[in-house]
Structure 1
Amino acid sequence: MPLLTGLTRGGKSWTPTFADAIDPEKCIGCGRCFKACSRKVLGPGDIYDEETDTERMVMTIVNSDNCIGCAGCGVTCPKKCFTFTTLEM
């Protein structure tokens, strides 16, 4: 099956890459990805660290159906926490 593709304004072929997962071990909860996403795909979440007996904030994918595949979240992430996927038509 062919990949879902589109065109840029300049007419070049473009394949969207959709946010698939965020690695909570790498995420520092800085919120840069949250600010970069205009589609409200991301939101804060907490994970419990058993070693330190504390909770820490991480970003999570809360509305995956809103993702348009721009990958802006991954570009802004200083820890490269995101995994992306392409879609087949």
Structure 2
Amino acid sequence: MSEDFKTRDGSAWMPDYLTAIDGATCIGCGRCYKVCSRDVMHLYGVDDEGAILGICDEDEDDDFDGELNRMIMVVDKAGACIGCGACSRVCPKGCQTHVPAAALAA
């Protein structure tokens, strides 16, 4: 473990950053979105062929002109992730990919 990452008390800690969500497995429940304080992912609409239609606006009931088949979470602001892991703890499908910070370091 890298000594570069530490908790407030000085203990070694390795953040695991969210890098992807498997759209084939995601059920679009929104649990990960609700616990994320960093606005890392958003709900997107998907059509019958699996093409992503666009972001779903919470304030609008958009069905993308009747093309909406289901909704999934998409990581669209990965750089904002702090690696806390809250999203992975609430995901009922285990569809997220997390990568240790040391593996992403340049």
- Shared fold by TM > 0.5? yes
Give how far 1:9 is off.
Answer: 2.9
TM-score for the superposition, normalised by structure 2:
0.71
Q: Which has the higher strand share?
A: 1
Structure with bigger gyration radius: 2
For the Cα contact (< 8 Å) 2:5–2:13, is it kept in 1?
yes
Q: CA RMSD in A?
A: 2.3
TM-score for the superposition, normalised by structure 1:
0.83
Distance 2:13 2:73 in 1: 27
Give how far 1:8 is off.
Answer: 1.8
Partner of 2:53: none
Task: For structure 1, list consecutive stretches of 5 or more residues without a partner in the other structure.
Answer: none
Q: Size of the alignment, in residue pairs?
A: 87
Give the percent of matched residue pairs that are identical in Structure 1 and Structure 2.
Answer: 42
- Which of 73, 76, 81 aligns to 1:67? It is 81
Distance 2:12 2:86 in 1: 18
**How does 1:22-61 map onto structure 2 within 5 Å?**
22-50=21-49, 55-61=69-75
